């Protein structure tokens, strides 16, 4: 409560309501669900859960100091009605699994579902959009980048590729070792979960669960195959060393940029320079043009000689007649 009135009076101001919505939409707020409404992804919550959270926040929630807490359930419901009337949220109805539609009823009811309209401060979203546009323009201008920036981007790309490869290999190796003894152990189990945010993808760090029944024969088969590989690596060091050296050479070629190279080093060094013909090239071109003209003149002379011979032969035939 405030010094001069109840929390309901405090939240009559739109600015205070916006601060409350910022808190409710944050990670400290009540959990929400995703759905599709009018071909748009939205977040919704049941009215009862929203009121319960406002009256009794979950344990460990850091309620903002500048916002008074709700002492009674009636105050929380009255504030929820204000959120609906001022279009911070609207009432929705379920039509299918994961699909909602806007309800014709506007009043707040604890048994109904409510979709958030308020999206909070958009400064960060606008900043990320601007960075995305600038990054796209920089990528399109890649051919005119300085050579040292091209080399830097190449090294960063190769390093990221190698890091991801070894991370996946490390996760699979840990899972294999632990799975053989009857447990499923994943390092960063949510790393590739597209439904989670960036920070949530790294939580928890490790998860361990007992394997399902009926996998004993599979675990024995994998153990035999892995043991056979280890035996081959120990008893055939020359072949394994050649395989390992091949991987080292592969990584070196990646960093050197010679893995799939079909250009000479001179062409690489001059890739950003304008290709102007040299004096030698120009002279060769002129010589080739002169030779073509000479060939044409010789052909014309042969044709003229042939025509004169034909005319002389016709004159002789006329004289004989």
SS3 track for 66-123:
CCCCCCCHHHHHHHHHHHHHCCCEEEEEEEECCEEEECCCCCCCCCCEEEECCCCCCH
Distance of alpha carbon 267 from alpha carbon 272, whole angstroms: 9
Please state, as a whole number, how many other Cβ atoms lie within 10 Å of the Cβ of residue 102: 13
Q: Residue 278 has which token pair?
A: 């040299």
Cβ proximity of 294 and 300 under 8 Å? no
Could you tell me where the beta strands, DSSP code E, fall in 161-300?
183-187, 206-210
pTM for the model: 0.46
* Burial of 110 (C-beta count, 10 Å sphere; 0-12/13-18/19+): middle
- Over residues 207-231, the pLDDT tens digits come to 888 888 878 888 888 888 888 888 8
Cβ proximity of 171 and 188 under 8 Å? yes
Q: What is the mean pLDDT of residues 285-291?
A: 73
Confidence of residue 51 (pLDDT cuts 50, 70, 90): very high
- Over residues 152-192, the pLDDT tens digits come to 888 888 888 889 988 999 999 899 888 888 888 888 888 88
Higher pLDDT, residue 180 or 258: 180
Give me the long-range contacts of 142-146 (CB less than 8 A, separation at least 24): 143/272, 144/272
Q: Residue 286 has which token pair?
A: 């002129």
Point out the least confidently predicted range of 95-109, 163-177, 237-251: 237-251
Q: Residue 124 has which token pair?
A: 């960060």
Q: What is the mean pLDDT of residues 118-141?
A: 86
Cβ proximity of 94 and 113 under 8 Å? yes
pLDDT at 114: 93
Backbone angles phi, psi at 298, to 5 degrees: -65, -40
């Amino acid at each position: 409560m405030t010094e001069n009135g109840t929390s309901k009076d405090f939240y009559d101001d739109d600015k205070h309501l916006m601060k409350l919505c910022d808190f409710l939409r944050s990670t400290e707020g009540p959990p929400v669900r995703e759905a599709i409404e009018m071909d748009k992804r939205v977040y919704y919550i049941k009215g009862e859960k929203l009121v319960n959270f406002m009256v009794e926040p979950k344990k460990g929630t850091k309620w903002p100091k500048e916002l008074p807490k709700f002492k009674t359930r009636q105050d929380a419901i009255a504030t929820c009605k204000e959120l609906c009337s001022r279009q911070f949220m609207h009432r929705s109805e379920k039509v299918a699994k994961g699909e909602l539609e806007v309800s014709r009823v506007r009043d707040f009811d604890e048994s109904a579902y409510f979709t958030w309209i308020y999206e909070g401060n958009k400064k960060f979203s606008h900043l990320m959009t601007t960075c995305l546009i600038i990054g796209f323009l920089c990528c399109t201008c890649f051919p005119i980048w300085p050579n040292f920036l091209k080399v830097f981007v190449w090294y960063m790309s190769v390093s990221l590729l190698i890091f991801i490869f070894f991370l996946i290999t490390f996760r699979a190796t840990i899972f294999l070792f632990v799975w053989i003894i009857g447990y499923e152990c994943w390092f960063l189990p949510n790393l590739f979960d597209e439904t989670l945010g960036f920070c949530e993808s790294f939580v928890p760090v490790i998860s361990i669960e007992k394997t399902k029944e009926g996998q004993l024969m599979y675990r024995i088969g994998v153990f035999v195959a892995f043991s056979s590989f280890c035996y081959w690596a120990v008893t055939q060091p020359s072949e394994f060393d050649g395989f390992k050296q091949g991987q080292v050479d592969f990584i070196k070629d990646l960093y050197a940029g010679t893995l799939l190279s079909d250009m000479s080093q001179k062409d690489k060094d001059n890739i950003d320079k304008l290709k102007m013909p040299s004096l030698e090239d120009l002279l060769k071109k002129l010589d080739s043009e002169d030779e073509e003209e000479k060939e044409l003149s010789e052909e014309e002379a042969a044709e003229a000689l042939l025509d004169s011979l034909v005319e002389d032969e016709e004159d002789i035939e006329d004289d004989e007649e």
